[in-house]
Amino acid sequence: KQEVTQIPAALSVPEGENLVLNCSFTDSAIYNLQWFRQDPGKGLTSLLLIQSSQREQTSGRLNASLDKSSGRSTLYIAASQPGDSATYLCAASNNAGNMLTFGGGTRLMVKP
Amino acid sequence: GAVVSQHPSRVICKSGTSVKIECRSLDFQATTMFWYRQFPKQSLMLMATSNEGSKATYEQGVEKDKFLINHASLTLSTLTVTSAHPEDSSFYICSADPAGGQETQYFGPGTRLLVL
């Protein structure tokens, strides 16, 4: 059974800092891996989706990498802003049916 | 972009009552919808997979008779929490998988359930 772990669970940084969020998964036979953002009391917003054949995806200040062999993915946020404060969740899909296994999330606070 | 709505966004009910939560895909058809539960400061846990026109598939440990799921059309799935108890208080989120095999699910805004 797939297990997804995120480290750290919480992170507080000053504005402008570059930061890395980590995600690890136990079953490397993934179909894709996604990163989501969740604001308090809200649903999920998809940030980046990496197919199993890809190594990274970029969107603006966000860059996500995938290393299936080591069972790891990272989300890099450049020049962090207070508006980036949220919980970031990674999720692995093990089949084309899109069943997702979520990590515990990283609660990010970017201080002005 | 694809939009998924949930109704209600927040509900408070007395213990023993039943609560129905609706999940709608507003601008696309979804053959499959998923229901998740999220406790405070925890991640999303998949409860069940809902397929249009067929019975839902429940994850281990989720009582199908307590959490009734109906997916009567390609744009609507409902989750009914029957005889709710305080331990059912949680944040319930649905997602919809667009027909045609697209790669990502689209998530609803969630429903906050508080059982007194």
Average pLDDT of span B74-92: 95
The pLDDT tens digits of the residues spanning B3-30 come to 999 999 999 999 999 999 999 999 888 8
Share of chain B above pLDDT 90, in %: 71
Q: Is the backbone of residue A13 left (phi > 0), alpha (psi -120 to 50) or beta?
A: beta
CB contact under 8 A, A99 and B46: yes
Please tell me the distance in Å from B54's CA to the nearest CA on chain A: 16
Residue with tokens 């899109």: A98
**Chain A contact present for B43, CB below 8 A:** yes
Measured CB to CB, residues of chain A less than 8 Å from chain B are 32, 34, 36, 41-46, 49, 51, 89, 91, 96-105, 107
Question: Based on C-alpha coordinates, what's the Rg of chain A?
Answer: 13
pLDDT at B53 over 90: no
Contact partners, residue B90, CB within 8 Å, separation at least 6: B37, B38, B39, B113
Question: What's the N-to-C CA distance of chain A in angstroms?
Answer: 41
For residue B101, pLDDT beyond 70: no
Which residues on chain B are in Cβ contact (under 8 Å) with A108? none
Strand partners, A108: A11, A86
* The pLDDT value given to residue B5: 95
Give the pLDDT confidence score for residue B103 in this predicted structure. 66
Is pLDDT of B100 > 60?
Answer: no
Mind giving me the DSSP string for B57-72?
A: EEPTT--TTTEEEEEE
DSSP A80: -
CB B24 within 8 A of CB B17: no
| Residue of B104, B109, B110 lying closest to A34 (CB–CB) | B104
Do residue A89 and residue B46 have CB atoms under 8 angstroms apart? no
Residue-wise pLDDT tens digits, A8-65: 999 999 999 999 999 999 999 998 999 999 998 888 999 999 999 999 999 999 999 9
Of all residues in chain B, the one with the smallest CA distance to A10 is B41
| pLDDT, tens digit (0-9, with 9 covering 90-100), for A86-98 | 999 999 998 766 7
Does pLDDT of A1 surpass 90?
no
Q: Return the pLDDT at B107.
A: 92
> Do residues B48 and B68 lie in contact, with contact meaning Cβ atoms separated by under 8 Å?
no
Q: Taking CA atoms, what residue in A is nearest to B45? A: A102
pLDDT computed for residue A85 by the predictor: 97
